[in-house]
Structure 1
Amino acid sequence: MTFKSIKTKLMALSFLLLTIPLIILGWMSYEQSRTSLDDAGETNLKNSVEFTLLMIDHLNEEVEKGTLDRAEAEERVKVAILGEKQSDGTRPLNENIKIGEEGYIFILDNEGTSLAQPNIEGQNTWELEDSNGVKFVQNMIKTGNEGGGITYYDFPHPDNDSQIVPWIAYSKTDPNWGWTVSSSTYMSDFNQAANHILLFVSITVGVTLLIGLFIIWLLSNSIARPIGIVTEHMNRLAKGDLTQEELTLKSKDETGRLAQAMNHLQTNLKDMISSVADTSSRLTTHSQTLNQSASEVRTGSDQVAVTMQELASGSETQASHSSDLAYNMSAFTTVVEQANEKGQLIYDTSNQMLDMTTQGKTLMTHSSNQMSQIHKIVQEAVQKVSGLDHRSKEVSKLVYVIKDIADQTNLLALNAAIEAARAGEHGRGFAVVADEVRQLAEQVTASVTDITQIVDGIQTETLSVTDSLQLGYQEVEKGSEEINETVKTFNHIDQALKDMVDRVQEISSNLAEIATNSQKMHTSIEEIASISEESAAGIEQSSASIQQTSSSMEEVAASSDELAQLAEQLNELVKQFKL
């Protein structure tokens, strides 16, 4: 089969679009059914094990109550899941417990001994392996002890020992007796219904494909046949046959519209060829007239070219002068901008000086206030020291009074001692008292002497401090006067700087305005220079265009001759069509 025709391509594409979704849908249905059946089978295995464990729990309660013997309870479980033990040691499958076609429930202990099994009850199956070497009995016991789970293994089919098939088992350990209860069957038990579904889906897909192919063949014919008719008509048009009858297709779809478009094409092409034949005849006549007009235009173009050359020379001179003026104006603008920047810098510096002067004025005012405070404090200190000197002099007077009293007391004590000596034995006690009084008077005299020296020292130091404070007071007065003068000077400087800042700001504003106007003038001059250059270039281009026009007119004359020849050739080509 080749794919050169539309019919073949449509059939192949439609077949693929029909086949692929059907196959995918059928396979997904089969997989979903198989998965659902597997889940249902696992649930069946689990439910059978859970039912057995519930039965063990119930019988164990009877054993614990003492109403049932343990061995009898175990046998009841075995009979319930399988059946009565036969004379040959086997047990039949319980028909009431359906686990697939060949599935059954069996019981193991933790050592792998089969406690309930149709054929090998009492045997140890701990080391049993499947065809892959997996010890599935150990896996069942391990899974059961871990809370229950699924075990997969390969084992002979019940009806054919030589056929190894996949098996599935659910195991769970009973906490009462330590039994591992397992329920198993081979996997194909779960998938038999899915295989029936797969067969049904396959048949459905096959029938659908056959019906679809027939419908696709009909549709492909309905599309390909009209296209073939249109193709044949198109080939005749390509050979120049415009005498064919119009296509008549009953189809209203794209093929019908294609036939209508072909009919319109034939009609328009016939009209166009007729028009071209008429036009080519007139073209021959007009080409001769064009040749004569081209000669006249060429003569006028030569005269215009000379005039444009003179205009171009004058425009170049004007553009040169404008460029020089623009260059000089640019330099002037640069100088003005620099002056403007310097003026702004001076303005900023003046503002900084004004700020510093204001700060200095504030500091001097603060210093003047502090000097006034110091002046007041020193004045008070002088007054207090003078008062201290006055008090010390009063203390000196009191000390002299005390000294006189002490001297008199000493003299009186001496007289009292003399009188006591005259009195003899009777005046002895009075003599002792007089002696004590004399000693006290001497001590007072000594103390008064020390106080006198201290007071004299205080007076001396007070005089010295008074002199120092007087000198300091005079210096403070001088400092206050100088600071006041400095404050006045700062006030004058501040006012002068404010005036200077105002003038500098005015100068800076004028410079900025000059810079702005200079920039505008520079821009205008550049525009004039640019326009002059463009004008010169335009005139040169116009001159060149006139020259090119002259050359072109020569070419037009030559082309008109060629056009006449082409018109003749066109007439020959038109004659090939059948109108």
Structure 2
Amino acid sequence: MHWTVSRKLTLGFITMLLLTVITAILSLNRMMYMQSRVELVTENWMPRINQMDTLRYETEHVLNLVFQHRDKNDPEARKAIESTIGEIYDTLDQTIASYEKGIQSDAEREEFKQFTANWDEFKKNTQKTLVASKTSPAQAQVLIDGGQKIFGALLINLTHLEQMNQKGAEASSADVKKAHKDSLIWIYVILALGVLAAGLISWVFLRIVAQPLRAVTAGIIRVADGDLTTKPLAVRSRDEIGQLAEALSRMVRQLHAAISRSADASAQVTALSAQLAESAAQTAKAATQIAVSVQTVADGSREQLAAANETAHAMEEMAIGIGRISETAADMAEIFSDTTQSASKGTEAMAEAERQMTAISSTASQTSKRVEQLGEHSTHIGGIVSLIAELAHQTNLLALNASIEAARAGEHGKGFAVVATEVKKLAEQSAQSAKGISERVLTIQAETEETVTAMHEVTRQVAEGITLVNGSGQTFRTIADAISHMNVHVQEVSATSQEMAAATEQVSASVTSTASIAQTSSENTDGVAAASQQQLSSMEHISGSAEQLSRLAEELRESIRHFKL
């Protein structure tokens, strides 16, 4: 059976309770017995002795009243004495009847019978004496003497009864004393047994409860003081105290292991926190450099964005000018086509000027090549507008030459003069449109000047050829050939203008896309700059946290040093 502390304590309490109950029962029994004996004395013997005293006194009182009755001569006084004697008789009769109920023994009953017989005789003698005292004093005296003898017998009876009651009271008192003595003996015995039982129980509990508890308490105090070298407690009991001792030993082992691990971990945390603080400082320094670099990139991106926006605006204006040039070149091509058809009718009249116009064609061919070279160069540098300006100058010169030739042709050149005037107007419009754009493309100006010089050379050669032409037919033929060549050039210019318009649109779209990309890049760069600032702030916070972690780890190590492992 597994005896727990509660069962052991319960057994001890039950044992002490049984001893207490036995003591209480025995004490109650003795007390009840003594109470009965005391009640016998106080409620039987003492009242009966008092009744004997009352009988003695009242009987003697009656005898004295008889003497008074004899000596009184007043009838009223005698009558009062007789009334008093009657009242005493009633009282004595009640006392005698009450006493008879409590008779305890046969001897007492026999003595009481003698008393009642003498009492009856005494009452008869008293009545005779009262009667005789009225008529015969001598007779009354004789009766009084007889009454005194009866009174003496009554006193003897009363004395015997008093002695019997006194002996009964003394016997009851002796019984009470004996019961008291026996009760004391029993109480002392039981008290001694209780003390022995209490000592035995205390000793047992000291062995099985107090000593293990002191051992457990001492172990807990050592653990509380930080001493984890406590050996397992040698408590053999299997009760709650034994379980507590085993739990304490297990707790010490686990706490020892946990503190050891905490010590190792705190050392590692200290080292790691130092590394973390150093890494955080390096990262913060790098983040600062990154933030400065990103801010520089952000400023450059904003400048690039502004330049891209300006370029996109310029390309839009260029695209508008090129579109106008393309429209003008198309109109010129249509006009030159009509002029060519008109001039073909006078081809036969231009035979004499064929050689000179050939020279003009050769010069125009060279000029065309020069313009083509200029176009290729403009493609490389993005200056397609210079070619348009050069073509505008060439067209203007051709129109001027055509005007001169038309003036020389007279009536036959009027229609051509109108066409040359329109071409000249269109060339001027194209030059004005290209002028605003050419200001942005400075690298093409040199090539444009060379082209203008070449065109002047062509004009000079054409002028020399014109001077050689002597007839209007030859002049017309020269003009027809020039117009034919110019028609080709105008068509080329129109095609080139269309290509330039398409290229300009592509370049404008690219520039717009570049501006959008620059805008996005600028925004992203700003975001990266903000993120770099946040990262720098986070690194500073991490550095502070690492320092705090290092302090906490050091505090943990100080706390662990309190324990003795």
Q: TM-score w.r.t. structure 2 length? A: 0.29
The answer to which structure has the higher helix fraction is: 2
Q: TM-score w.r.t. structure 1 length? A: 0.29
The answer to which structure has the higher strand fraction is: 1
Larger radius of gyration: 2
Larger RCO: Structure 1 or Structure 2 (Cα < 8 Å, ≥ 6 residues apart)? 2
